[in-house]
Amino acid sequence: MNVFVQPQIMSLVSEDTSSKIYLEKIRLLKQKIGKTPLVHIDTVNGSSIYAKLEYYNPLSHSVKDRPAVYMLEDAIKRGLVNSENATFVEASSGNLGIAYGRAGKFLGLKTLIVIPSVVGEKTFKRIQETGTSVEKTPDGYCPLRNERDGAIAKVKDMYLDDPNKIWLDQYSNENNYKAHLEGTGPEIWHQTEKRVSHIVLGVGTGGTLVGISRYLKAENPDIQSVAVQPQKGHHIQGLRNYSESLEPAIVRKNRDTIDHWIDVCDKDAFEATTELWRKGYFVGTSSGLNYFAAKQIAKQNRGSTVVTLFADTCLNSFKLIQDYVLGKSF
């Protein structure tokens, strides 16, 4: 009698070897990310305003390349990729999703991004074109306090329901701010030749400001850290107003790194964005918000060296600014 015994299915590449391959690819990615230019943008009240041009990063042309790669690296080191069906899921309103998708494709990892339905079609397509899966959920840029953040809640449900889903949660993951503690912060310190006096940044997850501030304050405790919030009910993708939305764990646990908080309305952020376009910096609305806030800080602190970030290009917010310039309602 013939008896067929199915052989045990074994991978040709051991788990240890797979991790080494992933980590070598991560090392190659990290060589291409960061070390972005710091350029002088303006002089106000005897103060110099500088901006890091984060759109020089290669994956999403945004600052989000830094935390995306750091979070994925840590997950691989911790052995979380233990199945061919493993899928990294994350909530994003744009740039993190693009960075995740491109990094995942380069590494050979599956990714799935959940975005708020309010995110524009252009951003949706940019994420989709990376090769990642994309799902939309009813949500605004800033979910109200005490209400479920639709995109985050959906990702959490996926993670709890499926053991093959890996959720690194950019809103609480310490590697989000460590990317800036070990990268962006030291770059600013050396590029300004230790002269930086103020760091001024819009807050979303808070990782960028927390990481940079923690590094700079360790070098010079007198450096002032300014968190910039958009107005309530704003239209600025990637940022949050914490008086109306859920405050990320990264900010909640690291408020000691932030000295001042200021709010900027959409109108001022959009006008500053169009001003930057005229200067030749085709950036998004969060960069306009950063620039406007940096000028306010410069006016209040004569002779200071103010540093901000131009977080991304105008690709995700071009139509928004176009509508604003044309006088259309939002």
Q: What is the pLDDT of residue 144?
A: 53
pTM: 0.90
Q: What is the pLDDT of residue 316?
A: 80
Torsion angle (degrees, nearest 10) of CA 288, 291, 296, 302: -170
> What is the distance between the alpha carbons of residues 112 and 100, in angstroms, rounded to a whole number?
9
Using 70 as the pLDDT threshold, list the residues of the chain that sit under it.
1-17, 139-148, 325-326, 328-330
Determine the residue type at 20. Answer: K
> What is the distance between the alpha carbons of residues 77 and 71, in angstroms, rounded to a whole number?
10
Q: Point out which residues pair with 307 in neighbouring strands.
A: 50, 199
Own/partner contacts of 134-143, CB < 8 Å, gap of 24 or more, are: 134/97, 140/116, 141/93, 141/116, 141/234, 141/235, 141/236, 141/237, 141/239, 141/240, 142/232, 142/233, 142/234, 142/240, 142/241, 142/244, 142/245, 143/245, 143/246
Domains of the chain: 15-21+65-167 (3.40.50.1100), 31-56+184-325 (3.40.50.1100)
DSSP 29-75: HHHHS----EEEEEEETTEEEEEEEGGGSTTTSBTTHHHHHHHHHHH
Classify 190 as helix, strand or coil: helix
Q: What is the pLDDT of residue 15?
A: 55
* Inter-CA distances, 167 with 14, 72, 325, Å: 24, 10, 39
Q: What is the pLDDT of residue 238?
A: 87
* Inter-CA distances, 99 with 26, 67, 144, 169, Å: 13, 9, 27, 14
Classify 25 as helix, strand or coil: helix
> What is the distance between the alpha carbons of residues 236 and 93, in angstroms, rounded to a whole number?
10
Is there a contact between 304 and 47 (Cβ–Cβ < 8 Å)? yes
> What is the distance between the alpha carbons of residues 250 and 166, in angstroms, rounded to a whole number?
19
> What is the distance between the alpha carbons of residues 119 and 238, in angstroms, rounded to a whole number?
10
Q: What is the pLDDT of residue 143?
A: 53
Angle at 178 between CA 51 and CA 77, to 5 degrees: 135
Q: What is the pLDDT of residue 62?
A: 97
Backbone angles phi and psi of 146, in degrees to 5: 70, 10
